């Protein structure tokens, strides 16, 4: 209804203006702002410094599991970088998170033939007894098949869900497969299983299992849950194909650590004309504990800091305030993002747009946005300025990134700079997510895209939001 009303009003305005004189050829972005955007891209491509930030984070801090001492160290690290860059309004905003720690992890096929398996506990998995669990395996193709198993049919058994993830450039295979990880443990527990194993949610064929968060509904008793590496899942299938009963022994000693402190770390460049209006560029500072979180999401942190560095080097501040947000506890369920939306609820209507870099180290290949209708011509114009970087319009409306979700749920506009995710899920949430996977040149291209977008969003003559909530 709202949209229809707007179109009607525009139609009337067009008639009143008498057609051709309507500002069809007038630039929707100020030419000076466009020139600066091009300069920003040139600077970033010549060497944005983003790789150095990722290196510093992964070397000086390393893995940074939510609520851990390393997460706290990462907050201090981020604060120091923001200070060095000369940003203002630097804040460490605390919240609490359910802590969890990984322990010993071992799995092996014990019958009908012995094979060692590579396993990692899934986030929030409970421990097995110290001596482990040994039980027959029941295999399912999908989560739906597991959910359809008769009540009590898995009593005393280990459920194995063998869902394969497909490799797609936009990472679309993840959404299709990841439900097994989030909901599988609860589904298996409800059927009486003593443990759950899943095929890793990943596209590689290496023996690094992919961890990730799991969720249980209230009142369901948690069972130990782990992921097998893809080659180990393949081997388990070969053994199952022998047609004899197969048993697995599983030892996991992960444990809950109670309520722990975590935080988001924020800083700003104050807007020169509209300081109350805020463009948010974010990434998440926390990571899983297995690798060093270089791709997920050290690269995003590098993009955010390098964007701050370039914008800070410009002769004049952006028209609106740019806020750089390094979210905590993304991996364990967007805890930092929820805290941000809550703590900043009063100023969300003044958020121009939110965007996050949380899909590896580039390059950026697509651009799309979810803005109010009046701002769509500006998005089209920005798309043209991004095009020389090899960026094409993305399909469908953009979510802006996982940590932007709680803001968009309140009507904040979002923009998605889609990174090339072809290889991302080879490393995601594994011990193999390390700095050598980050290509400095691709990362510079991503900074060119993010920084020029953020600049133009801050310079836009039109507000991007609020977006009608039912558009999401």
| Interface size with Zn ion, residues (CB under 5 A) | 3
CB of 390 to Zn ion, least distance (A): 23
Residues in region 139-198 near Zn ion by CB under 5 A: none
3-state DSSP assignment of residue 325:
strand
CB of 462 to Zn ion, least distance (A): 31
Angle at which helices 299-312 and 440-459 pack, to 10 degrees? 50
Residue 296 binds Zn ion (CB under 5 A): yes
Helices (H), 348-427: 376-386, 405-408, 424-427
Q: 329 — alpha (psi -120 to 50), left (phi > 0) or beta?
A: left
DSSP for 247-309, written as a single string: EEEEEE--EEEEEEEEEEEEEEE--SSEEEEEEEEEEE----SSS--IIIIIHHHHHHHHHHH
CB of 354 to Zn ion, least distance (A): 16
- Distance (Å, whole) CA 142 – CA 420: 27
CB of 402 to Zn ion, least distance (A): 7
Compare residues 297 and 432 and give the one whose CB is closer to Zn ion. 297
Compare residues 289 and 358 and give the one whose CB is closer to Zn ion. 358
Compare residues 194 and 419 and give the one whose CB is closer to Zn ion. 419
Interface segment toward Zn ion; rule CB under 5 A; list 293-301, 386-394, 418-426, 431-439: 293-301
Compare residues 424 and 455 and give the one whose CB is closer to Zn ion. 424
65: its two tokens: 């599991």
CB of 285 to Zn ion, least distance (A): 10
Residues in region 437-456 near Zn ion by CB under 5 A: none
Exposure of 142 in the CB half-sphere (CA atoms within 13 A): 6
Interface segment toward Zn ion; rule CB under 5 A; list 66-74, 165-173, 291-299, 318-326: 291-299
Angle at which helices 299-312 and 50-60 pack, to 10 degrees? 130
Compare residues 224 and 291 and give the one whose CB is closer to Zn ion. 291
CB of 119 to Zn ion, least distance (A): 22
Interface segment toward Zn ion; rule CB under 5 A; list 91-99, 114-122, 235-243, 288-296: 288-296
Residues in region 302-361 near Zn ion by CB under 5 A: 358
Compare residues 356 and 459 and give the one whose CB is closer to Zn ion. 356
Compare residues 296 and 444 and give the one whose CB is closer to Zn ion. 296
367: its two tokens: 């651009």
Q: What are the E-state strand segments in 53-153?
A: 88-101, 105-111, 115-117, 119-121, 133-140
Cα–Cα separations (whole angstroms), residue 104 to 195, 206, 251: 16, 20, 7
CB of 405 to Zn ion, least distance (A): 13
Compare residues 252 and 438 and give the one whose CB is closer to Zn ion. 438
DSSP for 169-184, written as a single string: TT-HHHHHHTHHHHHH
CB of 330 to Zn ion, least distance (A): 6
Compare residues 79 and 297 and give the one whose CB is closer to Zn ion. 297
Residues in region 244-273 near Zn ion by CB under 5 A: none
Residues in region 350-369 near Zn ion by CB under 5 A: 358
Interface segment toward Zn ion; rule CB under 5 A; list 109-117, 154-162, 256-264, 295-303: 295-303
Sign (positive/negative) of CA torsion 139, 145, 149, 155? positive
Residues in region 33-72 near Zn ion by CB under 5 A: none
Name beta bridge partners: 385.
none
CB of 143 to Zn ion, least distance (A): 22
CB of 353 to Zn ion, least distance (A): 20
> Using an 8 Å Cβ cutoff, are 403 and 356 in contact?
yes
CB of 440 to Zn ion, least distance (A): 20
3-state DSSP assignment of residue 401:
coil
Helices (H), 376-416: 376-386, 405-408
The answer for residues whose C-beta is within 8 angstroms of residue 366's C-beta and 6 or more apart is 170, 391, 392, 393, 394, 395, 416, 417, 418
Exposure of 189 in the CB half-sphere (CA atoms within 13 A): 19
Compare residues 186 and 296 and give the one whose CB is closer to Zn ion. 296
- Distance (Å, whole) CA 145 – CA 355: 37
CB of 297 to Zn ion, least distance (A): 4
Interface segment toward Zn ion; rule CB under 5 A; list 74-82, 253-261, 294-302, 373-381: 294-302
Compare residues 105 and 403 and give the one whose CB is closer to Zn ion. 403
Q: Which of 436, 464, 264, 450 is nearest to 359 (CA)?
A: 450
Sign (positive/negative) of CA torsion 8, 12, 17, 21? positive
Compare residues 79 and 356 and give the one whose CB is closer to Zn ion. 356
Contact residues for Zn ion, defined by CB under 5 A: 296-297, 358
């Amino acid at each position: 209804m709202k949209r229809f009303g707007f179109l009607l009003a525009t139609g009337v305005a067009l008639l009143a203006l008498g057609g051709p004189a309507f500002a069809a050829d007038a630039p929707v972005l100020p030419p000076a702002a466009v020139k600066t955007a091009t300069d920003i891209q040139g600077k970033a491509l010549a060497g944005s410094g983003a790789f150095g930030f990722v290196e510093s984070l992964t070397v000086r801090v390393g893995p940074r599991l939510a609520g851990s001492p390393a997460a706290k160290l990462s907050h201090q690290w981020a604060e120091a970088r923001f200070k060095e860059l000369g940003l203002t309004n630097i804040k460490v905003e605390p919240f609490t998170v359910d802590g969890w720690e990984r322990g010993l992890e071992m799995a092996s096929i014990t019958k009908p033939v012995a094979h060692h398996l590579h396993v990692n506990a899934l986030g929030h998995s409970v421990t097995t007894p110290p001596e482990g669990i040994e039980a027959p395996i029941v295999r399912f193709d999908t989560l739906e098949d597991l959910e359809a198993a008769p009540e009590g049919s898995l009593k005393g058994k280990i459920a194995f869900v063998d869902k394969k993830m497909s490799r797609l450039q936009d990472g679309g295979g993840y959404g299709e497969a990841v439900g097994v990880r989030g909901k599988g443990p609860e589904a298996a527990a409800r059927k009486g299983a003593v443990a759950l194993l899943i095929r890793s949610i990943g596209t590689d064929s290496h023996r690094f299992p992919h961890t990730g968060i799991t969720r249980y509904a209230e009142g369901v008793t948690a069972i130990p849950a782990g992921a097998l590496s893809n080659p180990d899942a393949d081997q388990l299938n070969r053994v199952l194909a022998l047609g004899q009963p197969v048993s697995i022994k599983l030892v996991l000693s992960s444990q809950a650590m109670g309520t722990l402190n975590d935080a988001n770390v924020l800083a700003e460049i104050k807007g020169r004309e509209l300081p109350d209006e805020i463009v948010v560029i974010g990434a998440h500072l926390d990571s899983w504990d297995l690798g060093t979180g270089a791709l997920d999401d050290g690269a995003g942190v590098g993009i955010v800091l390098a964007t701050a560095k370039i914008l800070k080097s410009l002769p004049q501040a952006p028209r609106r305030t740019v806020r750089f947000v390094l979210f905590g506890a993304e991996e364990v369920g967007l805890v930092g993002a929820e805290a941000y939306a809550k703590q900043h609820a009063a100023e969300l209507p003044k958020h121009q747009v939110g965007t996050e870099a949380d899909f590896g180290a580039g390059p950026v290949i697509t651009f799309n946005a979810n803005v109010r209708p009046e701002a769509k011509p500006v998005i089209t114009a920005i798309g043209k300025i991004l095009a020389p970087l090899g960026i094409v319009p993305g399909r469908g409306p953009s979510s802006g990134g996982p940590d932007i979700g709680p803001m968009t749920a309140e009507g904040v506009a979002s923009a998605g700079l889609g990174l090339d995710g072809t290889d991302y899920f080879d490393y995601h949430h594994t011990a193999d997510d390390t700095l050598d996977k980050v290509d400095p040149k691709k990362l510079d291209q991503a900074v060119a895209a993010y920084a020029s977008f953020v600049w133009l969003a801050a310079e836009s003559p039109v507000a991007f939001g609020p977006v009608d909530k039912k558009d999401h």
